[in-house]
Structure 1
């Protein structure tokens, strides 16, 4: 009996691997050659007298109402130049990241064939951690000053923010920006709708970043991910018993979905929790929906959170 079970398990694994390999083989055959332009490098290595030429090459980054003196001051400012030197030290060879973008857009083109192959432009901006990567159809703008490593001396941010300032987070951040153009906008403010919206985003990371671990996709540590896995049923019971799912109190998004040092159950365990546990639960609901329904990816991305939840047959793991 034991040998039979082992053989059956092995057969299931082999079938799963074969199915995956066929999909990945098809993805690998999609021609993608991403081009990268290092605007950060061009800017800080341009002489002030050549600024006009740089502005002609990159008009997108030079608002017409900003005087040249502002750009020249930035070029020569010691702190900005030190930041550029740190970025250059980390990314003098950008080829590994460029190859990661090739692989990412092979996956994107497989699931969304109409997608254009964009150009990647790297910049050094104002450390806006809410816009680390911006996907804009034909362009992807990457702010490299926010990927120097979470322990970099320049970062004066809370730990929960800077823990994602790693090179490995560039692709998940790119998918998050891409996803915002594919997922239907939330039409109500209920906690459930917010949870499912970000659950869809994380499910897209499942498809587009199959080699990434779940903690990398959501920006958790391994310990934070484990906490969610071990407390899934507890969190779900908490939401249900307090009738939170269809509650549209804006504070619920801040407590359970938005980036935060921890989630706010208003219990002694709060300091042990990671932020965004609602998004993590929403992810599990979307996964369950996909498993239990015959639906295309595009259709799922347009469905309401309520419909996805009601048809998901979601049951938290105990």
Structure 2
């Protein structure tokens, strides 16, 4: 056997080892032993059933069954603390708008079986990594396009009227308060990712006040998205996780090095002036001044932060998810990621 053949065999052996290891890294953990079966309470349906009944009785039944969620719904979501609960119900049931919206919600969501299945799977993964977390009660509702995923005392709400599908007849009329770039994400496929993101941000990994530099906010948001990588169903695409169109994601991937170059050239990583860095962190239809409006993506700092964290975890395979999420040293994560995307020539 000549040396060339030996070298080829050695190369192929190590290539196979790398591929197998990479596949093992990408595989989700076995969560079959975790006992969890999420069910979503249909407040939207229970509320609608009371439309033609005695409102005092309806009020008492809803208060007993839904507790704090019902109080929050009445006083914050559709009413205000100065009105009596029965007054809010009277106003809600009045006219045809509520009935029309309820019928639309029922037509899109005759049941929530698929949603319950996917939430169960996601929260099994979350409990695998964080066994002590308390899984919230999930309650579906509609609030007239006011609330999407509210979190309250021991509950997470799912505003089904905010997930009717991007082509719903209701959304064009709301364009002044809800821009098109937002309503295109009002689709059922976004529910589990948005629930997961809100739970991560508000219940597991609260942002720190001292993390004010662009870099620290990029890494924080990147860690949230990486966490979502680990716990969401594998069918959930990157576009849905971050809320991009396919064109926007392709633009980011194509010009990743150029975007990184802009941040470095303008010495933005360590800036704390919100007026200078907010364009790289906030949502919108595009990022002003970068690329063609039809293609460029918003919140580029968050997307780059996600890529840095992914690179960091790939370069440091002994770091666990839990270790990553508790690490607040953004500079260390950047340095050890060896992040250096190639710049594309125009």
TM-score (norm 2): 0.82
Name which of 50, 58, 67 aligns with 1:59.
67
* Cα separation, 1, equivalents of 2:320 and 2:149: 27
Unaligned 5+ segments in structure 2 are 76-80
Kept after mapping to 1: 8 A contact 2:122/2:233 = no
Aligned equivalent of 2:340:
315
- 1:136 CA displacement: 4.9
- 1:188 CA displacement: 3.3
1:148-175 Cα deviation digits (max 9, x unpaired):
0011111123221012111110111011
1:106 pairs with 2:127: no
Secondary structure of 2:138's match? strand
Aligned equivalent of 1:86:
104
Deviates more, 1:176-185 or 1:139-148: 176-185
Q: 1:184 to 1:39 in 2, by over 3 A?
A: closer
1:208-232 Cα deviation digits (max 9, x unpaired):
1151221121111221111100000
Name which of 204, 209, 224 aligns with 1:182.
204
* Cα separation, 2, equivalents of 1:151 and 1:248: 39
Q: 1:248 to 1:15 in 2, by over 3 A?
A: closer
Aligned equivalent of 1:74:
92
- 1:140 CA displacement: 2.0
Decide which structure has the larger Cα Rg and report it: 2
* Cα separation, 1, equivalents of 2:121 and 2:164: 22
Q: Aligned pairs, how many?
A: 313
Unaligned 5+ segments in structure 1 are none
* Cα separation, 2, equivalents of 1:251 and 1:231: 24
1:30-54 Cα deviation digits (max 9, x unpaired):
2211122100110111144132322
Secondary structure of 1:86's match? helix
Mapping of residues 16-27 of structure 1, within 5 Å:
16-17=22-23, 23-24=28-29, 26-27=30-31
* Cα separation, 2, equivalents of 1:134 and 1:192: 28
Mapping of residues 30-179 of structure 1, within 5 Å:
30-46=34-50, 47-49=52-54, 50-51=57-58, 52-60=60-68, 61-62=70-71, 63=75, 65-67=82-84, 68-128=86-146, 132-136=148-152, 138-155=154-171, 156=174, 157-179=178-200
1:195-252 Cα deviation digits (max 9, x unpaired):
1121111111110115122112111122111110000000000110010111112124
Kept after mapping to 2: 8 A contact 1:34/1:118 = no
Q: 1:311 to 1:6 in 2, by over 3 A?
A: closer
Aligned equivalent of 1:305:
330
1:239 pairs with 2:263: yes
Deviates more, 1:10-19 or 1:45-54: 10-19
* Cα separation, 2, equivalents of 1:137 and 1:250: 32
Q: 1:210 to 1:70 in 2, by over 3 A?
A: closer
- 1:255 CA displacement: 0.9
Aligned equivalent of 2:238:
214
* Cα separation, 1, equivalents of 2:82 and 2:141: 20
- 1:75 CA displacement: 2.2
